[in-house]
A and B are shown apart, each in its own frame.
Chain A
Amino acid sequence: EPEVTQTPSHQVTQMGQEVILRCVPISNHLYFYWYRQILGQKVEFLVSFYNNEISEKSEIFDDQFSVERPDGSNFTLKIRSTKLEDSAMYFCASLVGSVSDTQYFGPGTRLTVL
């Protein structure tokens, strides 16, 4: 069964550093998403991406965040200058795009900012 993959599984970085989280969505899917989950808290929507552009973003997704689909398979989330409060699990998800479709989540990247 096809699945969403994410790398790395765990990233440790120093405050102020840039990080890039990588995702490979399922190949025939058209909508791509990033969510985050701070430890012990709920899953929060960050951004949706369709047709090579951002279709919607949340208040969390400020200027320090950016997303890119540099080729036909990868979907990346960049955090330019990490803060302590960026420490969280980051989940990538994708779906085909039909009304009845469900999102498929990747296994997540645990980001730890020191």
Chain B
Amino acid sequence: QQQVKQSPQSLIVQKGGIPIINCAYENTAFDYFPWYQQFPGKGPALLIAIRPDVSEKKEGRFTISFNKSAKQFSLHIMDSQPGDSATYFCAAAVMNYGGATNKLIFGTGTLLAVQP
């Protein structure tokens, strides 16, 4: 019940394409859903996050879509660029009292390659 299932494992798109990465969860107590971007040799960097009270959040070229009833959320990258080539992780957590996240449960990661 604590798992976050992520797909696909890897993804190749052409420059300008819109890669979509999907995640699903079981624990209905999860109420914080961030996405992280990790380049080789670097730590994960927070990209964008969403709470379940909204169905979509957009920051620049990155959009999270959230479907609470289906317990699914996805990351869309608009106008993808070769510089977006990285591993993307979704995650989920239960926000404890005071709005602070406790531990994150991570998906298995998606290796994205954007070809020029």
The answer to whether A binds B is: no
A contact residues vs B (CB 8 Å cutoff): none
